Amino acid sequence: MLMANDIEPALTNRGQDAASELEGVGAALMLLTCGAMGAGLAVLLRGFHMVWVPVLMPIVIGWCVGSSLGMVQRRFNVRAQLPPLITAMLGAVIAYFGYHLLVYDRILDFIAGNLPSVMEAALTDPRLLVEAWLEERTGRTGLLAYLTFVSDGAGAGVSPLGVLGRTEPGLALTCVSIAIDGVLAVLSSLFFVRIRGLAPEPARRQARTVREEIAQTNASNLSAVMRFIDKGDVDAAARILARPVEQADYAVAVVYDPADHSDWELQILALQSDRPDVVRTSRRLDSWHGQSLLDELQLVRQQGDSGD
C-alpha cells in the first residue's frame, strides 16, 4: 500500500513563484535606480550653476526620482509597500543633500581660483586658504562656515542659495529653509512614486474556503496522478482519477476559495486507516491548475455517463 511519505510532490504554484522572483528583481532595481537617479540629479543640478528656487526645485527632484521609481515598480509589478517608500525617500535625500554638498565643494574651488594673491596660492593648498578665510570671517568651520557666509548678503552672490541669502536670514533660518526643502523633496518623491507606480495591494479579505472530495482511487492510480500533476498535465491526472476502481485506498479532495485566485490545496486521505478523515498529506496547486483539474474530471465523467 502507498503510504503518505511515498506520495510524490504535486505541482507547486510556478506562476506565483515566478511573480515573486520578478518582484524581488524589481525591488533590487528600484534600489539601484534611486541611487543612480539621486546621484545623477545632484551632479546635474550642480553643473548648471543655477539659482536654487525654494519649493520648486525640491518638487522637481521628487518628480524625477518618484517617476523613475514608479516606472520600475510598474514594469516589475512590485506590489510590496516598503520598497517604493524606502527607495523614494533615499533617492530624494541623495539628490537633495548631495546637491548641496557638491555646490559647497564647487564654491570652495571657485573662491580658491580667485584668490587675490597668486603667491599665496602657490605656497599652499588654495582650498585650505579658503576654509581658513571662511572660518576667520564667520567664526565657524566647514559646512557651517559656508552656510553662514552665504546667509550674509555679501556672500549670497557666489551660491545658488543667493535668492535666500540676499534677505540675510542668518544661519538658523537658512538651515531651517534647507531642512524644509529636504522634507518637501522627500514628500514629493513619495507622491510621484505613488501616482506613477502601482497602488498598494489591497488587504486580503478573510478567505471562505470550500472542501470538495473529487475522487476515490487506489494506490497505483494515485501515484500516476501525482506524476502527471508534477508534469503540469492536470487533464491526464483527471482522466486517471475518473477511472473506477474495485477497492479505493485513498480519497482525493480539494480545498479552495471560489471567490479568489489564491492557491488550492490538494488533500490525500487514507480510507483504509483507523482515521479516514485525517489528511495524510497535502500539496498546493495554483488556482488555474486546480480549476482545470475539476473541469476535466467533470467532463470525463459526463462523457462516461453518456456512453453508458
- Bridge partners (DSSP) of residue 141 are none
Contact 66, 85 (CB under 8 A): no
Q: What is the pLDDT of residue 95?
A: 94
Parts of the chain with a pLDDT under 70: 1-19, 48-52, 113-126, 153-169, 199-207, 307-308
What pLDDT shows up at residue 51? 64
Q: Is 155 helix (H, G, I), strand (E, B) or coil?
A: coil
**pLDDT value, residue 10:** 40
Q: Which pLDDT score, from 0 to 100, does residue 61 have?
A: 93
CB atoms closer than 10 angstroms to residue 228: 18
pLDDT digits (tens, 9 = 90+) for 10-63: 433 444 455 577 788 888 999 999 999 999 999 988 876 556 677 888 999 999
Q: Cell numbers for 248, please give them.
A: 479505493
pTM: 0.57
Predicted pLDDT of residue 192: 92
Residue 117, Cβ density class (10 Å: 0-12 exposed, 13-18 middle, ≥19 buried): exposed
Question: Closest by alpha carbon to 72, among 31, 41, 19?
Answer: 31
Predicted pLDDT at 190:
92
Residue 3: CA count within 13 A, CB half-sphere:
1
pLDDT of residue 203: 60
Q: What digits encode the pLDDT tens for the residues 220-251?
A: 888 888 888 888 888 998 999 999 888 888 89
Place of cell 485506498: 249
Q: What is the pLDDT of residue 168?
A: 66
| pLDDT score, position 85 | 92
Domain range summary for the chain, segments of one domain joined by +: 17-196, 206-307
pLDDT at 38: 93
